[in-house]
Structure 1
């Protein structure tokens, strides 16, 4: 998980130098992230059908190998078009892994330990957020953005070997197909929850994708300050995964509104206090804590309300999340290039308000008993 998240969002900490090196605008380079989101949506919807009855361990190893190839392609990219190819390969990895991840956790741990299992898995997200972005920003300033991606290659290779050795055999269960996806999507409570989750993630990534330009233009952070602020944001993610794994009880419904409420509210305050480094650090700590907690909250909701079809539910959830990341990158980039970084953050807040409107009556998001 850590390497996948680091590979996916590394361009966030390197957005400006990557744009300069590839001869593109900052907004265009940010939208390259949306390419991985597009292919992640496709992969998440196809993975259970394409994988069929294949052992899930083999599928996960194949995904890790493809991630290795995508990093090499991005590191060698001579132009914007090749960068997009590398990001497309990574998108296939993201969609495939996330679609299967919750179902795999549900098979590896007892039912009552699923929230903690998810929190442990998303601890990889916290690790990546804590170290990948600030290290990427710092090392990119010292050596160049390509060298940062090359540095990930041997780490991912070792991760592939470790997965092969440590992961138990995971024979496939019932063969998935598009009909099973449709049957889950038709459930009113799931459709409503999926919409709320998609809007929540869309809000988060409209802001997060263009955080570096905000910190450069509004907070006036140099490379060192930028790295420290990103480290604060990422480090707070450990608190989010720890707290969510231990504090989620039997009732998940009331927690569903927290991500959009906290992260949207934090972004709103950031618009007014973003010129202060200290205030920005505090706000990013709050935002980072809820960012990782959001994944555990929503995936726990999915595991409890689609426990009869976890792979289908996981596929649809990941499709929604990746569509949201794609939406956030595209809308945020258009607002940034067409208006200003303030407009980008305002777009993030608008999506958070929409998510809150959907999830306000959280009882409608729960499976009837």
Structure 2
């Protein structure tokens, strides 16, 4: 939501757009900490109730953000959301691996990230449109009953998931000692860092460079989000077996789209095309990299999930911080250029993807 409401939130809290972008980076910071600590802190707690607690924390975060009287309270609310994000996603892949047969894990991951595609398709454009009509606070208040229903659904639908064994940091350290896993982790960070350096500040770009109003902004965000369904569908049908050739696609296509926006940002048609490709690859990226993790850390899925989420959230944090500094210090063009540079470095590290696979 802060991406689609960045400009009015900044105005309402009397902050710059770059500063308000840090509401995303602060959630990333706390998500990193939560993802690394969740399996250790949760100990032998039933994973179902840990996930329920994360959803309850999301509800508390929404209330704080919606009612925030100043920038500091907003940051506290976003910090709580970061704990929820880090805790949930660190456990999500390991939970999926317990719920379905091994051969069905890529499809199950695609189904889970289909929820992300739905959110991207509707939340951002609807948020931008309703924010223009009723104000950004009303949008966050409107989300609270949805999350409350989700909280109840977690309690009803999830089966009991007792912890199989107590996790500690040694499992994570063991994974980091494996060269192929460490290389993959860094490559995933560069891919997500590139994506969020651009995506966090997409609204200022569309307003300043493309010259869109709120209605056109909502339509373009809808195009981006709906394209996510395509990415989810394609990844669920064709992702099986050797994942190595696919690892470079997110950085290649999303970085290329960001470059295209820099070159042809004044064209509504061109911008719509690039955002459609970017949106499709955005959801596919999650499925591709989490499938890589499931295949290459199958002996320690919770530790692998913790490290992957920490890496992803660190890159989101880095992207939001660096992008905001470039935006406030130079221009929106500098922010998007930084995104392209990160994608290029990621491509160089990934290569053909074989060095990122376990022997």
User: TM-score band (shorter)?
Assistant: over 0.9
Partner in structure 1 of residue 23 of structure 2:
32
Moved over 6 A (4+): none
* 1:159 matches 2:150: yes
SS at match of 1:291: helix
Q: 1:128 aligns with which of 104, 107, 119?
A: 119
Contact 2:106 2:236 (8 Å CA) reproduced = yes
TM-fit CA distance, 1:361: 3.9
Partner in structure 2 of residue 62 of structure 1:
53
TM-fit CA distance, 1:362: 1.3
Equivalent residue pairs, number: 359
For residues 238-294 of structure 1, what are the alpha-carbon distances to aligned partners after superposition, in whole Å with 9 as ceiling and x for unaligned? 000110011012110010000000000111111011101111001100000000000
Partner in structure 2 of residue 7 of structure 1:
none
Q: 2:86 aligns with which of 77, 95, 99?
A: 95
Partner in structure 1 of residue 212 of structure 2:
221
Q: 1:211 aligns with which of 202, 211, 230?
A: 202
* 1:49 matches 2:40: yes
1:106-185 equivalence runs, <5 A: 106-185=97-176
* 1:332 matches 2:323: yes
Partner in structure 2 of residue 316 of structure 1:
307
Partners of 1:362 and 1:33 in 2: CA distance: 30
For residues 172-197 of structure 1, what are the alpha-carbon distances to aligned partners after superposition, in whole Å with 9 as ceiling and x for unaligned? 01211011111111111000000000
Partners of 1:125 and 1:44 in 2: CA distance: 19
Contact 2:29 2:317 (8 Å CA) reproduced = yes
SS at match of 1:218: helix
Partners of 1:286 and 1:84 in 2: CA distance: 32
Partners of 1:276 and 1:304 in 2: CA distance: 42
1:224-243 equivalence runs, <5 A: 224-243=215-234
Give structure 2 stretches of 5+ with no counterpart: none
Q: CA RMSD in A?
A: 0.5
TM-fit CA distance, 1:302: 0.3
Partner in structure 1 of residue 289 of structure 2:
298
For residues 208-255 of structure 1, what are the alpha-carbon distances to aligned partners after superposition, in whole Å with 9 as ceiling and x for unaligned? 000000000011000000000000000000000110011012110010
TM-score, normalised via structure 1 length: 0.97
Partners of 1:261 and 1:351 in 2: CA distance: 11
Partners of 2:127 and 2:164 in 1: CA distance: 40
For residues 57-89 of structure 1, what are the alpha-carbon distances to aligned partners after superposition, in whole Å with 9 as ceiling and x for unaligned? 000000000000000000010000000000000
TM-score, normalised via structure 2 length: 0.99
Q: 2:2 aligns with which of 8, 11, 14?
A: 11
For residues 121-165 of structure 1, what are the alpha-carbon distances to aligned partners after superposition, in whole Å with 9 as ceiling and x for unaligned? 000110010000000000000000000000000000000001110
Partners of 1:363 and 1:116 in 2: CA distance: 23
For residues 320-352 of structure 1, what are the alpha-carbon distances to aligned partners after superposition, in whole Å with 9 as ceiling and x for unaligned? 000000000000000000000000000000000
Q: 2:74 aligns with which of 79, 83, 89?
A: 83
SS at match of 1:229: helix
Partners of 2:212 and 2:86 in 1: CA distance: 34
Partner in structure 2 of residue 5 of structure 1:
none
Contact 2:248 2:352 (8 Å CA) reproduced = no
TM-fit CA distance, 1:363: 1.1
